[in-house]
């Protein structure tokens, strides 16, 4: 039987190839090569400065690490990316290569790689989030006068503007900003070794500073078993995609013939292989569908960690697929939603038609009566009676004749009846959070501010390419 792998991870013993294949995380964690090399460089620089690795050896190892990263193709078959890198170093440097693993375990190494990965992905997600928020603010700004019904229970409820919809969608994503930002882990795990730390005189602060973390983790036993940062990121992603899925459903519904408020541009409308007339919203259905993957990934991570004893357990390697999928999924959905929403057109005529009978402004009529001194519950009942009377006679509430209204109650006035106008209804809701002009302006301004804040938060995150460039040059 052919035996592969260096055996370095199993005390020199050779694993059965089947067992190695079953246990290897390399097919997935090869994606963490850049993170792994960056972590190794910072660790190496610290070891050199602490006098634990001679400067010359450290220089040679660093050059080799750079080469490994640049020649990213050929990683040898090993248990994981960490062993693959060490094996490559050993091939060219021999025994000297082994110095890199001084005061280090793969347990703290993978904890670092994953944190670096989450940090990078959260920066990318914040950039996309910023663009999406800016797009929503921009669209809202241009659709202040396009009216359509707002819905509760998927029944027409009250008149709103398309701008108000864009702002509502934006409000959900503005909340995701904080969640994604905090998922970028501030703690540096390297230096705790397998679990208990090391008797060698290392300096974790040097590594922390080189890698731009805010603090070092407090306890090794906790550190090597901790995947809270992964859970936080997966939750942030799942919630943002949940939001995307809800926007997608509004768009999907609104571009049906039944609702008809939206039209998809040719650039995003997809056809059917059989029905020539179709303009399908596949893009938005896929956005909605991908939400399921994000929720599944969060669940997979939660279940992986549940009930594990303290310290590192190999079960944790099963975090890989779920976590590595999360960042790119989040980034691509935010991007696709932005591109998609930039290519849907509201049809003002359809919106106006849906509001024409005035029924959605019944609350406004009741509120106008209330302003004229009628207690709200009475006004509600009187307006309800008027709505029913109008429906029986096939008259729109907005066109209810005054004498018809006065047959119900003499407190109805021409001014009260004018409240059934949809545009007035939207304009009159002047409170914060309402549909009125000043309120919508404030909401748009707030979306713009969130877009800026997301961009700033994204650019405040230390990026891998920058770190790598710095570590190549840093004094040994
Ligand atoms: N491949 C492992 C993982 O991804 C690295 C840590 C292995 N540690 C160990 N003690 N076997 O979790």
Taking the C-alpha atoms of residue 427 and residue 125, their distance in angstroms, rounded to an integer, is 36
Find out whether 46 and 100 touch, Cβ atoms under 8 Å: no
For the entire predicted model, the pTM comes to 0.95
Query: Which of 308, 317, 318, 319 best tests ligand 1's pocket when mutated (most atoms within 8 Å of CB)?
Result: 317
The distance of Cα 46 from the centroid of its chain, to the nearest Å, equals 35
Candidate list 6, 43, 82, 272, residue with the active-site label? 272
Active site residue 153: yes
Residue 78, ligand 1, Cβ within 6 A: no
pLDDT tens-digit map of 413-464: 999 999 999 999 999 999 999 999 999 999 999 999 999 999 999 999 999 9
Residue 314, ligand 1, Cβ within 6 A: yes
Our CA dihedral for 107, 204, 37, 78, rounded to 10 degrees, sits at -20
Angle, helices 282-305 vs 319-341, to 10°: value is: 160
Q: In this structure, what token pair is assigned to residue 28?
A: 């997935």
For 390, left (φ over 0), alpha (ψ -120 to 50), or beta?
alpha
| pLDDT by 10s per residue, the chain, length 476 | 344 567 667 766 788 999 999 999 999 999 999 999 999 999 999 999 999 999 999 999 999 999 999 986 689 999 999 999 999 999 999 999 999 999 999 999 999 999 999 999 999 999 999 999 999 999 999 999 999 999 999 999 999 999 999 999 999 999 999 999 999 889 999 999 999 999 999 999 999 999 999 999 999 999 999 999 999 999 999 999 999 999 999 999 999 999 999 999 999 988 888 888 878 999 999 999 999 999 999 999 999 999 999 999 999 999 999 999 999 999 999 999 999 999 999 999 999 999 998 889 999 999 999 999 999 999 999 999 999 999 999 999 989 999 999 999 999 999 999 999 999 999 999 999 999 999 999 999 999 999 999 999 999 999 999 999 999 999 99
pLDDT tens-digit map of 381-398: 999 999 999 999 999 998
Taking the C-alpha atoms of residue 352 and residue 330, their distance in angstroms, rounded to an integer, is 36
For residue 107, the CA-to-ligand 1 centroid distance in Å is: 6
- Rg of the Cα trace of the chain? 30
Active site residue 272: yes
Residue 227, ligand 1, Cβ within 6 A: no
For ligand 1, atom 1: residue with the closest CA: 80
Ligand 1 atom at minimum distance from 194 CA: 10
User: Per DSSP, what are the bridge partners of residue 215?
Assistant: 187
Candidate list 40, 48, 130, 153, residue with the active-site label? 153
Q: In order of start, what are the domains of the chain with their CATH numbers?
A: 8-102 (1.10.275.10), 107-353+443-463 (1.20.200.10), 359-420 (1.10.40.30)
Q: Looking at residue 3, what is its pLDDT?
A: 41
For residue 97, the CA-to-ligand 1 centroid distance in Å is: 20
Taking the C-alpha atoms of residue 281 and residue 344, their distance in angstroms, rounded to an integer, is 10
Residue 24, ligand 1, Cβ within 6 A: no
């Amino acid at each position: 039987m052919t035996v592969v792998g260096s055996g370095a991870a199993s005390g020199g013993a050779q694993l059965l190839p089947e067992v190695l294949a079953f246990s290897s995380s390399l097919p997935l964690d090869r994606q963490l090569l850049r993170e792994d090399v960056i972590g190794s460089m910072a660790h190496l620089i610290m070891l050199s400065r602490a006098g634990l690795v001679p400067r010359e050896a450290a220089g040679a190892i660093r050059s080799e690490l750079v080469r490994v990263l640049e020649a990213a193709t050929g990683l040898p078959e090993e248990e994981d990316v960490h062993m693959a890198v060490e094996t490559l170093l050993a091939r060219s440097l021999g025994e000297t290569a082994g110095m890199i693993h001084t005061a280090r375990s793969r347990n703290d190494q993978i904890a670092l790689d994953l944190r670096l990965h989450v940090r990078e992905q959260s920066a990318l997600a914040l950039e996309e989030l910023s663009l999406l928020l800016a797009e929503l603010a921009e669209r809202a700004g241009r659709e202040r006068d396009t009216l359509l019904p707002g819905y509760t229970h998927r029944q027409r409820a009250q008149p709103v503007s398309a701008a108000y919809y864009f702002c509502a969608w934006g409000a959900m994503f503005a909340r995701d900003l904080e969640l994604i930002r905090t998922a970028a882990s501030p703690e540096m795990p390297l230096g705790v070794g397998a679990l208990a730390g090391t008797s060698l005189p290392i300096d974790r602060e040097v590594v922390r500073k080189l890698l731009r973390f805010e603090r070092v983790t407090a306890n090794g036993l906790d550190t090597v078993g901790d995947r809270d940062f992964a859970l936080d990121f997966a939750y942030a992603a799942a919630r943002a995609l949940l939001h995307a899925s809800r926007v997608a459903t509004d768009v999907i519904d609104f571009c049906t013939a039944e609702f008809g408020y939206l039209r998809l541009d040719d650039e995003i409308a997809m056809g059917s292989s059989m029905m020539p007339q179709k303009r399908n919203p596949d893009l938005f259905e896929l956005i909605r569908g991908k939400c399921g993957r994000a929720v599944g990934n969060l669940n997979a991570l939660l279940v992986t960690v549940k009930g594990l004893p303290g310290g590192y357990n190999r079960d944790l390697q099963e975090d890989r697929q779920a976590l590595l999928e999360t960042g790119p999924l989040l980034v691509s959905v935010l991007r696709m939603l932005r591109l998609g929403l930039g290519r849907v057109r509201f049809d003002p005529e359809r919106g106006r038609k849906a509001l024409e009978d005035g029924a959605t402004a019944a609350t406004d009529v009741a509120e106008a009566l209330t302003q004229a001194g009628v207690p709200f519950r009475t006004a509600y009942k009187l307006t309800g009676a008027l709505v029913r009377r109008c429906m029986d006679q096939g008259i729109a509430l907005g066109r209810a004749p005054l004498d018809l209204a006065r047959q119900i109650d003499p407190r109805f006035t021409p001014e009260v009846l004018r409240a059934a106008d949809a545009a007035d209804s939207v304009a009159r809701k002047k409170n914060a959070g309402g549909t009125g002009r000043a309120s919508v302006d404030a909401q748009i301004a707030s979306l713009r501010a969130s877009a800026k804040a997301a961009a700033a938060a994204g650019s405040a995150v230390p990026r891998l390419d920058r770190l790598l460039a710095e570590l190549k040059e840093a004094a040994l």
